[in-house]
Amino acid sequence: MRGATTRSADPGLAELAPDQQLRRLELTVTRRLNGLLHGQYRGLLPGPGSEPAGSREYRPGEDEVRRMDWAVTARTAVPHVRQVDADRELTTWLLVDGSASMEFGTAELDKRELAVAAVAAVGFLTAGVGNRLGAQVLRADGVRRFPARSGRIHLLALLRALLGAPRATPPPDRPGRGPTAEPPDLADGLDALHRVANRRGLVVVVSDFLDGLPDEPGPPAPWERTLRRLAVRHQVLAIEVTDPRELELPDVGLITLVDPETGRHREVSTSDRRLRERYAEAAAAQRAQVHQALRRSGATHLALRTDRDWSADIVRHVHTQRRLAAAPVGQARGGAT
């Protein structure tokens, strides 16, 4: 069940972006980066950084004496120098789903507002010296692009643009209407993101991931292939946004359901217990499809719900990723989802 909720006013930035709650956290980035500036993350090329990378034999005329590894030199009786990995800046690319299905919500926040909150959290968690944030937003009129830039002013401008974007409205449900331009789907957005995300970094996709999902398990979703390609080069975080009414129907009598993507209407009697059970089973199977597709793509999965404390869910996710990153390789792989 999807539809738009009626609200007197959208929440402000202060409510959706509580940076004071996230100030001490940081998204763990385990992939190596290849940026140009010195920042807080390990780079691909050796250079003046703080991450030890072993030692090698001293090369006269090439190496600086101040980089001598005296402990290894004394142990081997052969001059050795320290090797370190250069710290690099992090470039984060966001793909934010602004399609009509994201307008639905039956809790304090709707899915679109929760998506903005997730973008705010990612922005605050990845803030740092030299770090940059870029975004592409899927809207009914096309893809809006925000170049990768650093600074709090850039982040706040992105959040205001997301909050101020016009609401998507479902097309009228009438037979014989003329053809309309198809809005960009999630696969289109991922393809566009793959073209601009040239340097290794963090890719965050915020969506309900319902776009093009097959009715039956088996065939892959149309966005799965590009997401897998992104995960080869980048660390990918998939933030799935859901509402409780998408998972189960309440017993409230006769209701009208509206598909925000097509405008189709259907009247449903929620008093039918068997119908509510079938709805819950189909919704659970649909979410299992999304989970399996994200797992096959190599993306880290973070599920947020409009009826839960999203900031607490993000805090738990960050701490879990830290534990996995600090664990031995075999143990981390066994515990990852």
Task: Say if CB 42 and CB 95 are below 8 A apart.
Answer: no
Do 181 and 82 lie in one domain? The reply is no
Q: pLDDT for 175-205, tens place per residue?
A: 544 445 577 889 999 999 999 988 888 999 9
CATH number (domain holding residue 263): 3.40.50.410
* Tokens at 8, concatenated: 């007197």
In which band, very low, low, confident or very high, does the pLDDT at 207 lie, cut at 50, 70 and 90? very high
Do the domain assignments include residue 6? no
Q: For residues 300 and 37, what is the distance between their CA atoms, to the nearest angstrom? A: 26
Total tally of structural domains belonging to the chain: 2
Across the chain, what does the average pLDDT equal?
A: 78
Do 257 and 164 lie in one domain? The reply is yes
Do 264 and 314 lie in one domain? The reply is yes
Contacts of 73 (CB under 8 A, 6+ apart): 58, 79, 80
Do the domain assignments include residue 2? no
The two counts, helices (H) then strands (E), for the chain are: 10, 10
Do 152 and 26 lie in one domain? The reply is yes
Q: Give the per-residue pLDDT at 49.
A: 46
Do 125 and 167 lie in one domain? The reply is yes
Q: Which segments of 165-308 does DSSP mark as H helices, in order?
A: 186-196, 224-233, 273-297
Do the domain assignments include residue 7? no
* Tokens at 6, concatenated: 């009626």
Residues linked to residue 51 through DSSP beta bridges, in sequence order: 85
Do 123 and 160 lie in one domain? The reply is yes
Q: pLDDT for 240-261, tens place per residue?
A: 999 998 888 888 888 887 776 6
* In the block, residue with structure tokens 């409205």: 169
Q: What is the DSSP letter of 59?
A: -
Do the domain assignments include residue 8? no
Do 178 and 120 lie in one domain? The reply is yes
Do the domain assignments include residue 5? no
Task: Say if CB 117 and CB 109 are below 8 A apart.
Answer: yes
Q: pTM of the predicted model, to two decimals?
A: 0.74
Do the domain assignments include residue 3? no
Q: pLDDT for 4-22, tens place per residue?
A: 443 434 455 555 554 554 5
Do the domain assignments include residue 128? yes
Do 142 and 204 lie in one domain? The reply is yes
Do 115 and 177 lie in one domain? The reply is yes
Do 126 and 236 lie in one domain? The reply is yes
In which band, very low, low, confident or very high, does the pLDDT at 2 lie, cut at 50, 70 and 90? very low
Q: Give the per-residue pLDDT at 244.
A: 92
Return phi, psi of residue 32, to 5°: -80, 145
Q: For residues 189 and 254, what is the distance between their CA atoms, to the nearest angstrom? A: 37
Do 173 and 102 lie in one domain? The reply is yes
Do the domain assignments include residue 176? yes
Residue 167, classed as helix, strand or coil, is coil
Task: Characterize the bridge pairing of strands 132-139 and 91-97.
Answer: parallel
Residues linked to residue 43 through DSSP beta bridges, in sequence order: 33
Q: For residues 85 and 45, what is the distance between their CA atoms, to the nearest angstrom? A: 6
Domain carrying residue 171: 13-33+89-335
Do 213 and 280 lie in one domain? The reply is yes
